């Protein structure tokens, strides 16, 4: 089975970013590679 690559994007506030981080962490534990879409200026 190929390794899944997942694009994550969460914007606005920590209320969106922190849950996305938790989901990304779980997906990573299950073998996925996470790619983040955002800005270089920190949280959206």
Q: Is residue 40 in a domain? A: no
- Per the CB < 8 A criterion, the answer to whether 36 and 5 are in contact is no
What is the number of other CB atoms lying within 10 angstroms of the CB of residue 31? 9
Q: Is residue 38 in a domain? A: no
- Is the pTM for the entire model greater than 0.85? no
Give the pLDDT of residue 11.
Answer: 77
Q: Is residue 44 in a domain? A: no
Give the pLDDT of residue 28.
Answer: 98
Give the pLDDT of residue 16.
Answer: 84
Give the pLDDT of residue 44.
Answer: 55
**4-43: per-residue pLDDT in tens?**
999 999 877 778 888 999 999 999 999 999 999 887 776 6
DSSP3 helix / strand / coil % (the chain, rounded to 5):
35, 25, 40
Give the pLDDT of residue 17.
Answer: 85
Total domains, the chain:
1
């Amino acid at each position: 089975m190929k390794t899944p690559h997942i694009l994550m994007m969460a914007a606005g506030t920590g209320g969106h970013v922190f849950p996305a981080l938790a989901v990304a962490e779980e997906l990573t534990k299950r073998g996925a590679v996470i790619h983040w879409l955002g800005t270089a200026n920190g949280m959206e």
